[in-house]
Amino acid sequence: MALKILLNGKLVGEKDAKISVFDHGLLYGDGVFEGIRAYSGKVFKLKEHIDRLYDSARYIMLKIPVSKRKMSEDILKTLRANSLKDAYIRVVVTRGVGDLGLDPIKCPQATYFVIADRIALYPREFYEKGLKICTVSTRRNLPEALNPRVKSLNYLNNILAKIEGNIRGVPEALMLNNSGFVAECTGDNVFIVKNGEIRTPPASVGVLEGITQATVIELAKKFRIKVRREIFTRYCLFTADECFLSGTAAEIVPVIEVDNRKIADGRPGSITKKLMLEFRKVVKRSGTSIY
């Protein structure tokens, strides 16, 4: 069955969800987006995702044409129109239609749309047995250039890293910042476990502030596991007891090998598995009701 897409406030069939070739989101990657998940009829962390979307837009001086409340209602409306209870939601806001020049002043009205569909980022075996990743040469964007905390439509930095990972034959690629410190993967935040403590890079190294990342930290505190947000190098990865990634689409996925080096015994660790199990429970019992 064809999906219903919400485009500028109106539901249309996916074949009719058309954007102008003069839209600056297409021409220049000028816009922002959010990826959100729904579980068992509830949208997980909807407010947090909406707040981040509007913060990203504010950073690039893009005025979203509807209020946060209306955007939230439009997301729920899209889910209902597609009879979805478990879904991945993509919300996109572009600068809108302008001319072939760069000047955003020529774009009088932003465009926004909401897509809701099912998603499975990684095969089940990766969650059970773990995945392998590699470090790539593409460095994470400098915060002084395009701050990685902004979820902009210009994702070439991540895509170039993803291409390197594909060439190396791994499903995810690790990016360092310009100083050589661990930043994040192409679509996920990175965590390591050492001596019963969890560490994850802070925003200052140039990473996206992950909503799933924040949830992991909350869950760890519930289990009285100490979490430190601090800078670390690949040495800490190679010598870690456990490693895992987090992201809205990926959720929590264990890493068993980095750059051909096994993490500990090459199997998902106990803390990782505990957090994965608790996360799956939390997402099913909390969130904004769709119906």
Residue tagged 């590699």 (tokens):
134
Amino acid identity, position 92: V
Give kind and range of the element (H or E) at residue 24.
helix 24-28
Residue type, position 47, single letter: K
Q: Which long-range contacts (CB under 8 A, 24 or more apart) does 10-16 make?
A: 11/77, 11/78, 11/81
The predicted pLDDT at position 2 comes to: 87
Predicted local distance difference test score (pLDDT) of residue 121: 74
Q: How far apart are CA 268 and CA 13, in angstroms?
A: 42
Residue 57: its H or E element: helix 46-59
Q: Is the dihedral of CA 18, 24, 28, 32 positive or negative?
A: negative
Distance CA 265, CA 2 (A): 46
Q: Could you tell me the residue ranges of all domains in the chain?
A: 4-117, 124-285
- Within 10 angstroms of residue 169's Cβ, the number of other Cβ atoms is 8
Question: What residues in the chain have per-residue pLDDT under 70?
Answer: 1
Q: CATH number of the domain at 4-117, please?
A: 3.30.470.10
Q: How far is CA 249 from CA 21, 112, 119, in A?
A: 28, 21, 8
> Cα(201)–Cα(33) distance, rounded to whole angstroms?
23
* DSSP letter (8 states) at residue 194: E
The pTM score is: 0.95
pLDDT recorded at residue 122: 87
CATH superfamily of 124-285: D-amino Acid Aminotransferase, subunit A, domain 2 (3.20.10.10)
Q: Cα 157 vs. chain centroid, distance in angstroms?
A: 14
Query: Which residues belong to the active site?
Result: 151
